[in-house]
Chain A
Amino acid sequence: MSQYKPQTLNDTQKLDEMTIPKIPMRETLTKWVSGIVIVLLLLWSWSPVEMRLWISLFTDASNMAEYASGFLSPNFRDFDIFVEQMVVTVQIAIWGTFLAIILGVPFAILSSSNIFPAWIVQPVRRVMDACRAINEIVFALLFVVAVGLGPFAGVMAIFVHNVGVIAKLFSEAVEAIDPRPVEGIRATGAKKLQEVIFGVIPQVMALWISLALYRFETNVRSATVLGMVGAGGIGQLLWENIRSFAYAETAAIMIIVVVSITLIDMLSQRLRKWAL
């Protein structure tokens, strides 16, 4: 490779006369400050989470080996029950997601700042924030108390948490629409609701379907642990087997979960591509 030789346009311009533009002080400062902040955050969290124990990953390697050997010989004796519970897990996600969409759509519209005024949008958004802030497991614990042990508590847990998530995701799609078609519909003397039905929803439908499928994937994943607190699905079997040190069965369940989730992810990915 030969060094680049500038073609001077005339004799007055020389290579060593060229000035290199300076990187603005702000940019350099921002880079350093953000680096320092990240390091400080990591140091601050080190001892509270007992990060010093990292060494035991190696000193207690024999425990790990025991786990691993159990996992290497999965026990599929109760295959039928495992699969049955995995199907229930998916069914929990189906109903949870469906109910979340039904209620999430109106809340999404109500929390879109390009459709409704701030005095409606802000309160609705705060309620949705609250739904989202609380994890499914916490809702599951509450619903187990309210409606008893079983998958219905799981459905309700997925539902309530996801109303918040769907409302946020869907309203972000609504806020990104092109306002001009909506104005075109307003010009015909249509009502506000009709502006939304004919002007907004057709624009966001494809994205909504894609987001809903993505949430369904996520919800199947979440539903696999809800059983640990008695809210139905395969999580209960998982929990029982882990607690009784039945690693072979645990391994079998985990394999079933991984395979099911992979299949659902692949299927939903296909569908999402088709929707968009």
Chain B
Amino acid sequence: MSEAIKVQQLSKTFGSDAKALDDVSISISTGEMVALIGASGSGKSTLLRHIAGFVEADRDSVSKITIFDRIMQSQGKITSEARAIRVGVGVIFQQFNLVNRLKVLTNVLIGNLGNMSAFKGSLGLFSDEQKQAAMLALTRVGIAAQAMQRGSTLSGGQQQRAAIARTLVQGAKILVADEPIASLDPSAARKVMDIMTELNQKDNMTILVSLHQVEYALNYCRRTIALRAGKVVYDGPSEALTPEFLNELYGAESEELFLPSLQAKQKNIDNVWAGMPPDQATEPTMNSNMQ
């Protein structure tokens, strides 16, 4: 299988000494669906933003990022080809990044911009065929009924699905998803993950998705890449990521990688009940704190 995404020796330093990425090398084959996990600040977003060609790596590094053997950036410089390569790389974001004031349909039609004449695109002259394709994409993700609404009127899950429809219209062969479900409720999150899985299996789309919680990686992705402090600490089958192993990789940080367990939830609920009514419950604790 050919390589869809190849990242070689990527390093990125923000400010004077904060190393966000430290000599990262990964390679993802066509048709894979790979999870990228790590605690907050481990460099997941930064890595994905480099792959999407939004950020340049450190100038003094020997880094190189190729998408289907075309160079997106090398040695800290985004190539002139980057704009053309981006057409093949769909990106979805934690905050969806739709244009709120535009209709959902228009937001999806924007996916065509990289594939059409600059003149027609800039004037927003989309053909009927393009509009039909956009409606088909919206139907696939299940929000065709909302096509004429403003983006801002949709729920988070619907907005994320609209963003996915945009990448479909774009004709992307790769989908880079930067914490796509971090702002969603569990059922919307599952829906978005299901759609991505379908795109991976039916359309053979290569997917690299960063996730905050390991459970989703275990359920949806066969392979997981784990980052810690800008370094790849694990790259292999997801099922190897047992709580014990994660604890070994991350130490205390590993706690935030799991959904709060039922036990912890129960404990919280107990605390809330114990604190009721507040006047009686809080005063003794205050007293003890004061002394």
Contacts and interface: CB of A to CB of B under 8 A. Distances in A.
Contacts of A181: 97-100
A190 interface: yes
B207 to A, nearest CB: 15
Query: Contact residue range for chain B?
Result: 35 or more
Nearest to A180: B97
A198 B102 contact: yes
A230 interface: no
Residue of A181, A183, A184, A187 with most partner-chain B CB within 10 A = A187
Contacts of A180: 93, 95, 97
B140 to A, nearest CB: 18
A246 B137 CA distance: 74
Interface string A196-224: 01110011011000000000000000000
Interface in A149-204: 180-181, 183-191, 193-194, 197-199, 202-203
A13 B290 CA distance: 10
B113 A190 contact: yes
A146 B50 CA distance: 55
A184 B101 contact: no
Contacts of A189: 83-88, 113-115, 170
Interface of B: 52, 54, 83-91, 93, 95-102, 106, 110-115, 118, 121-122, 124, 163, 166-167, 170, 286-287, 290-291
Return the 10 tightest CB-CB contacts between A and B, nearest first. Answer: A189-B114, A184-B97, A189-B87, A187-B91, A190-B113, A189-B86, A202-B101, A180-B97, A181-B99, A188-B170
10 contacts: A9-B287, A181-B97, A184-B91, A184-B99, A188-B167, A189-B114, A198-B99, A198-B102, A198-B110, A202-B100
Interface of A: 9-10, 13, 180-181, 183-191, 193-194, 197-199, 202-203, 205-206
Given A194-B121, A198-B113, 5 more contacts: A10-B290, A188-B90, A193-B122, A198-B99, A206-B101
